[in-house]
Amino acid sequence: MKKLSLIAAGLLALAGSVQAAPVLMSTQWAAEACTAWNQNPTLVNDLGKKWVKNNGGKGYKAIIMYRTDCGKNNPVELKIADQNGRAECVYGGKQIDMTPNFSVDYEMHATTKKWGEMGRGDYGPMHAMIFGDLKFSGPKFEAMSVMGPFAQFLLLVGKVPGDTSACPQ
């Protein structure tokens, strides 16, 4: 009986130390997505050649995201900057840039279900935009020129764990 109690106590301690995934598209999730961006060679290298340099003189590009079914009141953003020829995420969190320049910045939103489908790779960005699964504002021709990296960006949603049972606050 004593051995069983020790095992139960150990399992409870382990369960208490396991952290739940942050809410999908929350500020904590965006910070983790920023880290994941920097670990993706396609994003940092392929977008570091030309894409990241089109920043309107701000020194970064903003990617603003939210889950349509949660409303647009709590968007998050990733700030991507040229760091020695690499497109690195330098900020992931609450949207700070309240006046994005859509000749260089992006805003994307989709339902939670559609973000999940794109994150699993059920379909790519071209399908998502053509069929309206992903609502998109920003330089469309520029986005079309970087479809490979853009697909990698959408897959981040599936690679960065996110709780979809609640909306970001």
pLDDT digits (tens, 9 = 90+) for 111-134: 999 999 999 999 988 899 889 999
Question: Residue 15 has what pLDDT?
Answer: 46
36: number of CA atoms within 13 Å, CB side? 17
Chain position carrying tokens 């997505």: 33
Q: How many CB atoms lie within 10 A of CB 23?
A: 20
The CATH number linked to 112 is 3.30.1050.10
In a domain, residue 2? The reply is: no
Instruction: Give a yes or no: residue 1 inside a domain.
Output: no
DSSP state of 53: G
Query: Which ranges of the chain have pLDDT less than 50?
Result: 4-17
Confirm whether 50 is domain-assigned.
Answer: yes
Is the pTM value of this prediction over 0.85? Answer: yes
Q: Which residues pair with 23 in a beta bridge?
A: 163
Whole-angstrom Cα distance, residue 62 to residue 81? Answer: 9
CA–CA separation, 123 and 136 (whole Å): 16
Q: How many domains does the chain have?
A: 1
Note whether 12 and 18 are within 8 A (CB): no
Contact assessment for residue 63 and residue 77, using Cβ atoms and an 8 Å cutoff: yes
